[in-house]
Amino acid sequence: MTTQYPASSVHISNLHKSYGAVEVLKGINLDVQPGEVLCLIGPSGSGKSTLLRCVNLLETPEQGEIVVAGHNVLSPDVDINALRQTVGMVFQQFNLFPHLTVLENCTVAQQKVLKRDKQQAKDITLKNLQKVGLADKAQRYPEQLSGGQQQRVAIARALSMNPQLMLFDEPTSALDPETVGEVLTIMRELAEEGMTMIVVTHEMDFARDVADRVIFMDQGVVVEEGPASQVIGSPQQERTQDFLSRVLHPTQTRAQ
């Protein structure tokens, strides 16, 4: 059965973020349509992760506008807890509580933030653990799981909050190569089901196959954007071409 997720759109205008004297985001403008999968690619330090962290206010930009599902994220009156119910985030590291079971990791925020009772939170969690193929691990602790399984738990935890938008910050970068595929499979399924997603990734095959649109960032600016087939398959900008040649053909590049 296909899940239908509530539609959410994202509008970002003239976004600036600095750390001290270093300007990390230099006037970013982008829109994400409801149900769209947007992949952000680019070298480390280009501002991709910072951009994601601004969307759910883990970082506060100095200038600009961010609107998620009609709500101005940067308004002084914004309810941060309500915003984070709308926006789910999956990090590079899994950020699971080591002293809690898988079930407890997924139910604690539902009970504290959404005020769901224990049974309701459990039922929703088990449904989402089933979705990521881990219903049989509900009573395990994070240390008893592989990295790929922990990341799938993190996805189930985010989904249990009923988000309208999912942010993925290089969700496979800390994984063993053998477990990358199981996480990407879950993300593909979410995309097929209509979840609005912004994904920072180095997985070019995933971006090519799943993204509706790809943005290449470098040094805090958008260098190139368009359909995945164009940006990855036939990039127009020299900087994009250079980056992709190194990512897609690393052995060949080293040999030159």
pLDDT score recorded for residue 85: 80
Could you read off the pLDDT of 44-98 as tens digits, one per residue? 999 999 999 999 889 999 999 999 888 888 888 888 777 778 899 999 888 899 9
Q: Report whether pLDDT(7) > 70.
A: no
pLDDT score recorded for residue 6: 60
**What's the CA gap between 218 and 47, in Å, rounded?**
7
Of residues 167 and 70, more confidently modeled: 167
pLDDT score recorded for residue 253: 37
pLDDT score recorded for residue 101: 96
Q: Are 105 and 142 in contact (CB under 8 A)?
A: yes
Contact partners, residue 11, CB within 8 Å, separation at least 6: 31, 65, 66, 67
Could you read off the pLDDT of 194-224 as tens digits, one per residue? 999 999 999 999 999 999 999 999 999 999 9
- Average pLDDT along the chain: 90
Could you read off the pLDDT of 94-153 as tens digits, one per residue? 889 999 999 999 999 999 888 999 999 999 999 999 999 999 999 999 999 999 999 999
pLDDT score recorded for residue 77: 87
pLDDT score recorded for residue 206: 92
Residue 87: which H helix or E strand, with range? strand 87-90
| Region at 236 (left for phi over 0; alpha for psi -120 to 50; beta for the rest) | alpha
